């Protein structure tokens, strides 16, 4: 990695920027925090790409023209969001899934370039609004403190990471931009039409991806997925990826609209025609999901669907669900017992048991503070005498956090998850359906991250937390809630109409 010292300074600057974006109540420090996050991201990008590649970019007229056009688009987008700030979560969601293949130094990477452009416009728009005198609500301390503690510790761990290049990629292309995005979404106005717009956007994107996936299954055509093409040549089934490079990533973005529609179907009283239409969309999405053959996506779907039904159902439905869960657990245990006969754990789990073992070996190297952000694959490779870290990623977010951030980081991770869950419980007192929808999205992302990772690397995680923070501001404190209720008035006004 070129300019390692610059990268370390950038990691510390980004940690300070995250603190200023999430914690302060005023305007000026938040703007400074957003600027620091941008500067840290840029410095890390320079250290990753290298000065030589940047000089080539400057010397190419076509590249310069494209860069100038991008800057103009960002400025124009910022002007539009200054005028219509309530649209910020929708446009960010619209750009979130799309990854563009680019050359990053000597390797090809799939970067969220459309999202970065929209996010830059949204950050600039928020800064302009605040400098003009607006006072958007701050992130509530319930979420701000655990988020700040986790992000700060993860950023500082770059100083001792086992792999400074991988750690720089995580900070520059995921953690720092997404913290800025959370700060922007949390401070966006919550318009009455926002829930419907978010649902329509998510379902529209999922339907597009599913339709392309079904077409790929029929035509045996893939995009951006050379590894999957090779794997399909040796299997009796054909996995599709839609517009993604990986079937599991595609599956995640199809499962999300399915669970959101399940929330709408179960939590809202709908006309029969609307109910049939939405059920048809769910069927389309499920067919698209089927051809991904993504086990992690199916597990995330079934676990979250059961949780939604349990929360939204009546007492009898919950008893039936619990009985089914017990029966399914017993059946899975019986199947596992027969599957292990004469076979190794590595064979039965398709190699995942090996990943657990080597991740634990990385954890043992530095159990308290971890091997540093992005360092788990390299540390596992070194601990097991393997040169290449590429095949040593744990693919399980809690294990990755434990290995890279140690016991300290894992406790902060647990604190953050508990705070998010409690925030959604509090929001559900005012906006039950919306809180349930956010909980369903975060449940899919969390369960999926247990088998595929990508919890913190997915912008929807931070966007959902940002929406929860924005809603939590509008939930009355317990004392206020009790006082208002004792006067016989509603506990809180309906901020978001449905």
Among 98, 117, 97, 100, smallest CA distance to 108 is for 100
| Burial profile 327-343: b = 16 or more Cβ within 10 angstroms, e = fewer | eeeeeeeeeeeeeeeee
pLDDT tens-digit map of 83-98: 999 999 999 999 999 9
Provide the pLDDT confidence category of residue 498 given band limits of 50, 70 and 90: very low
pLDDT in tens, 331-382: 767 766 675 565 554 554 555 677 888 899 999 999 999 999 999 999 998 8
In this prediction, residue 53 has a pLDDT band, given cuts at 50, 70 and 90, of low
pLDDT band with cut points at 50, 70 and 90 for residue 495: very low
Mean pLDDT across the chain? 88
Q: In 3D, which of 216, 217, 302, 209 has the Cα closest to residue 251?
A: 209
Q: What would the pLDDT profile of 385-440 be if each residue is shown by its tens digit? A: 766 666 778 889 999 999 999 999 999 999 999 999 999 999 998 888 999 999 99
Run of H or E residues at 383: helix 376-383
Q: Is the pLDDT confidence value at 271 over 50? A: yes
Question: Residue 154 to residues 81, 386, 452, 485: CA-CA distances in angstroms?
Answer: 31, 26, 20, 42
What are residue 220's phi and psi, to 5 degrees? 55, 50
Alpha carbon distance 311, 436 (integer Å): 8
**What pLDDT does 396 receive?**
92
Residues 273 and 449: their CA atoms lie apart, in Å, by 36
Q: If pLDDT is split at 50, 70 and 90, which confidence band does 485 have?
A: very low
Residues in a beta bridge with 107: 104
Q: How far apart are CA 488 and CA 482, in angstroms?
A: 10
* pLDDT over threshold 70, residue 54: no
In the block, tokens 């929406």 appear at: 467
Closest residue by Cα to residue 199 from 297, 268, 119, 98: 268
Write down the pLDDT at residue 329: 76
Q: What burial class does residue 114 get, using C-beta atoms within 10 Å of its C-beta: 0-12 exposed, 13-18 middle, 19+ buried?
A: middle
| pLDDT (tens digit per residue) in 168-220 | 999 999 999 999 999 999 999 999 999 999 999 999 999 999 999 999 999 99
**How many Cβ atoms from other residues are within 10 Å of residue 131's Cβ?**
11
């Amino acid at each position: 990695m070129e300019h390692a010292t610059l990268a370390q300074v950038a990691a510390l600057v980004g940690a300070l920027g995250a603190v200023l974006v999430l914690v302060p109540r005023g305007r000026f420090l938040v703007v400074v925090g957003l600027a620091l996050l941008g500067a840290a991201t840029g410095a890390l990008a320079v250290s990753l790409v290298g000065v030589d590649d940047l000089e080539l970019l400057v010397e190419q007229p076509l590249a310069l023209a494209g860069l100038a056009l991008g800057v103009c688009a960002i400025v124009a987008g910022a002007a539009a969001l200054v005028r219509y700030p309530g649209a910020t979560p929708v446009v960010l969601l619209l750009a979130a899934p799309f990854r563009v293949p680019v050359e990053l130094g000597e390797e090809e990477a799939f970067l969220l370039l459309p999202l970065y452009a929209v996010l830059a416009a949204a950050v600039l728009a928020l800064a302009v609004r605040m400098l003009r005198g607006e006072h958007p609500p701050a992130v509530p301390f319930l979420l701000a403190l655990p988020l700040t503690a986790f992000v700060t510790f993860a950023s500082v761990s770059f100083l001792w990471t086992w792999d400074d290049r991988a750690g720089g990629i995580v900070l520059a292309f995921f953690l720092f931009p997404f913290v800025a995005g959370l700060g922007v979404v949390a401070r966006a106005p919550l318009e009455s039409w926002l829930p419907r717009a978010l649902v329509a956007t998510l379902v529209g994107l999922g339907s597009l991806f599913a339709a392309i996936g079904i077409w790929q299954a029929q035509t045996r055509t893939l995009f951006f997925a050379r590894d999957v093409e090779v794997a399909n040549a040796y299997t009796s089934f054909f996995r599709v990826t839609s517009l993604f490079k990986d079937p599991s990533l595609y599956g995640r973005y199809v499962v999300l609209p399915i669970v959101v529609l399940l929330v709408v179907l179960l939590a809202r009283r709908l006309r029969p025609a609307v109910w049939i239409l939405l059920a048809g969309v769910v069927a389309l999405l499920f067919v698209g999901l089927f051809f991904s053959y993504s086990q992690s996506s199916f597990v995330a779907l079934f676990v979250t669907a059961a949780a939604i039904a349990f929360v939204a159902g009546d007492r009898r439905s919950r008893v039936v669900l619990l009985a089914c869960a017990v029966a399914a657990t017993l059946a899975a245990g019986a199947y596992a017992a027969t599957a292990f006969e004469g076979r190794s754990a590595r064979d039965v789990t398709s190699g995942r048991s090996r990943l657990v073992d080597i991740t634990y070996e990385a954890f043992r190297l530095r159990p308290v503070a971890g091997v540093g952000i992005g360092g788990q694959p390299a540390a596992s490779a070194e601990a097991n005498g393997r040169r290449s870290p590429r095949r040593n990623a744990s693919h399980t977010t809690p294990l990755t956090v434990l290995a890279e951030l140690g016991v300290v980081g894992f406790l902060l991770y647990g604190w953050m998850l508990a705070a998010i869950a409690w925030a959604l419980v509090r929001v559900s007192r005012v906006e039950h359906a919306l809180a349930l929808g956010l909980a369903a999205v975060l449940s899919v992302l969390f369960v999926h991250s247990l088998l595929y990772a990508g919890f913190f690397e997915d912008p929807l995680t931070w966007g959902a937390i940002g929406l929860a923070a924005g809603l939590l501001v509008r939930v009355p404190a317990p004392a206020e809630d009790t006082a208002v209720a004792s006067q016989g008035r509603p506990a809180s006004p309906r901020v978001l109409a449905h």
